[in-house]
Chain A
């Protein structure tokens, strides 16, 4: 079956530090990959996506590249801000838009001023 393994948290960084949150996956076929973010008391917001190998998703300074050879989709940001504090979820779907999302366990990120 499909699965997503995500870097365990929590992660605490100082403002302007470099961020990496690791995500690897197991899936049949060619999955689409996503990063979602959840702020306190809210639902999930789509942060970025990639639908095929070597695609790079990017949004709000965050980036992730779909690496088929390593089955990975690591999230990176060059300079984090306090407002980036949230829980980040890596997810996949194997039938784009027509099938459930399989989520990782989430990584709680806290940025200290």
Chain B
């Protein structure tokens, strides 16, 4: 059974650009959530989606947005990138209460 797949694994962007990260959940999982991991702030919750609806949102500026498609795949977008957005972005999917995480997308903003 395939796990949570995140693409791309690594990304380098320039300040001011925007970026889109993709997440394919485990087949049958309808809940998807996103986290940002940095050495200074640790793991911080970004948002959670269930059946294409955002159910929960963390304390991040409006530059961070996401969506979920009818096949449960999810994307998150960060506009006007700042150096501080450099992080590992983790996606997770859940079916019966247990979140399974992907390997993450490491975003570097230069």
Q: Mark A24-39, 1 if CB is under 8 A from B, else 0.
A: 0000000010001000
Say yes or no: is A99 at the interface (Cβ < 8 Å to chain B).
Answer: yes
| Majority SS at the chain A contact face | loop
Binds B, one of A14-22, A64-72, A75-83, A101-109: A101-109
Chain A-chain B contacts (Cβ-Cβ < 8 Å), number: 52
User: Which residues of B pack against A, CB within 8 Å?
Assistant: 4, 6, 31, 33, 35, 42-43, 45, 48, 50, 55-56, 58, 90, 92, 94, 96-104
Task: List B contacts of A12 (CB < 8 A).
Answer: none
Query: Which residues of the other chain, A, contact B102 by a CB distance below 8 angstroms?
Result: 43
Selected contact of B103 from candidates A42, A96, A99, A100, CB within 8 Å: A42
CA distance A84 to B86 in the complex (A): 28
A89 within 8 A of B: yes
Query: Is B42 touching A103 in the complex (CB atoms < 8 A)?
Result: yes
Distance in Å: Cβ of A68 to nearest Cβ of chain B: 19
